[in-house]
Every structure is written in structure tokens, then in C-alpha cells.
């Protein structure tokens, strides 16, 4: 396999990993399992409600920066970065 193919595969793996987390926090914790999670509380928040209105958004932000950081590493590793 060529370097370009390896780079692309590593990219796809990273994207899939990130999107799994993206799906779990929003659709999973915020919608599908929100009612069950609501029996757990953090302060005044029921956990499912917290994920739907706060937690998922914080996770999205962290995910994008994690993705950007890992991609920059991959760019350098496969020597396809811009500098």
C-alpha cells in the first residue's frame, strides 16, 4: 500500500472514531438513553438532560480540537503537511 493510501486510511479511522463519540454523546446519551440516564444526577441536572443541553456541546468542541491535533500529527508523519 502506498503512503497516500495509508495516510487516507489513518484519516478515515480517526474520523470514524470521532464520529462514534459524536453519535454516542448526542444521539445516545442525549436522546435514545436520556430517560434512563436521568436517574443519575449531577447537581441539579438530570444526566440525560445535561447531555442534551450542555454535555454534548462541550464534547463536540473537544472532539474537533482533538481531530485537528491528531490530523496535524498525521500530516507530519506522512509528510503531507503544508510547510
Partner 1 sequence: MTNLQLWTYAVVGATFCLYIFIAIKARATTTGEFYVAGKGVHPILNGMATGADWMSAASFISMAGLIAFSGYDASVYLMGWTGGYCLLAMLLAPYLRKYGKFTVPEFIGDRFYSQTARVVAVICLIVASLTYVIGQMKGIGVAFSRFLEIPFETGLFIGMGIVFIYAVLGGMKGVTYTQIAQYCVLIFAYTVPAVFISLQLTGNPIPQLGLGSTMSGSDVYLLDKLDLVLKDLGFAAYTSQKGSTLNMFLLTMSLMIGTAGLPHVITRFFTVPKVRDARSSAGWALVFIAILYTTAPAVGAMARLNLINTIQADSIAPDTTQNLKIDNLPSWFTNWEKTGLLKFEDKNGDGRIQYVGDAATNEMTKVDRDIMVLANPEIAKLPNWVIALVAAGGIAAALSTAAGLLLAISSAISHDIVKGIVAKDISDKTELMAGRIAMAGAIVVAGYLGLNPPGFAAQVVALAFGLAASSIFPALMMGIFVKRMNNAGAVFGMLSGLGSTLLYIFVYKGWFFVQSTAMLADTPEGWIMGISPGAFGAVGAVINFAVALTICSVTKAPPEHIQHLVEDIRVPMGAGSAVGH
Helix/strand/coil for 34? helix
**Using rule CB under 8 A, residue 35 touches partner 1:** yes
Residue 46 phi, psi dihedral angles, 5° rounding: -80, 140
How many whole angstroms separate alpha carbon 63 and alpha carbon 58? 9
**Using rule CB under 8 A, residue 24 touches partner 1:** no
Selected from 9, 19, 40, 77, the binder of partner 1 by CB under 8 A is 19
C-alpha cell at 67: 481531530
Separation of first and last alpha carbons in the chain: 25
What's the closest the beta carbon of residue 49 comes to partner 1, in angstroms? 5
User: Where on the chain is the footprint of partner 1 (CB under 8 A)?
Assistant: 4, 7-8, 11, 15, 18-19, 22, 26-27, 30-32, 34-35, 38, 42-46, 49-50, 52-54, 56-58, 60-61, 63-65, 67-68, 71-72, 75, 79-82
Amino acid at each position: 500500500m502506498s503512503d497516500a493510501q495509508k495516510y487516507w486510511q489513518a484519516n478515515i479511522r480517526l474520523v470514524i472514531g470521532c464520529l462514534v463519540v459524536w453519535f454516542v454523546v448526542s444521539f445516545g446519551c442525549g436522546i435514545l438513553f436520556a430517560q434512563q440516564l436521568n436517574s443519575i444526577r449531577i447537581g441539579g441536572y438530570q444526566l440525560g438532560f445535561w447531555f442534551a443541553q450542555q454535555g454534548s456541546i462541550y464534547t463536540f468542541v473537544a472532539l474537533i480540537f482533538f481531530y485537528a491535533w491528531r490530523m496535524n500529527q498525521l500530516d507530519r508523519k506522512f509528510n503531507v503537511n503544508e510547510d
